[in-house]
Amino acid sequence: MAKQNGNRKANGQFKPGYTPSTAWIKGQSGNPNGRRGSLKDIIDEIGDEVDDKGISNREQIMRKVMMMARRGDMKAVTFLADRTEGKAKEFRETTVKTEPIKVFDFED
């Protein structure tokens, strides 16, 4: 059996009141640097950029999608509908067999 530390019980759990040196300090983040450079952060930064007319990239993209939808592009229509009205729920019909369970009598 492995050698037990003085801060542990016989079953291996820490004794009450003991805080290991690797524990987080209360109120301090365990990931202080965050998720820098993630794809979402980059897309957000680019989407928030504004051109000389004061229109953001996000707004330009949505205007383009709206124009495509007006011209009859069904993918653009679906894109807009999914994001404004929400995606339609998909239902799947299932059937259950109602046969009785066969019981075998092994005594015979």
- Say how far apart CA 58 and CA 60 lie, in whole Å: 5
Residue with tokens 């999608």: 65
More confident residue, 21 or 44: 44
pTM of the full predicted structure?
0.48
Mean pLDDT computed over 96-104: 78
Mean pLDDT computed over 53-75: 95
- Say how far apart CA 56 and CA 47 lie, in whole Å: 7
Q: How does DSSP classify residue 74?
A: H
What is the average pLDDT value for the chain, to the nearest integer? 83
Residue 101: C-alpha distances to residues 42, 62, 68, 98, 106 (Å): 59, 58, 58, 9, 16
User: Does pLDDT of 67 surpass 80?
Assistant: yes
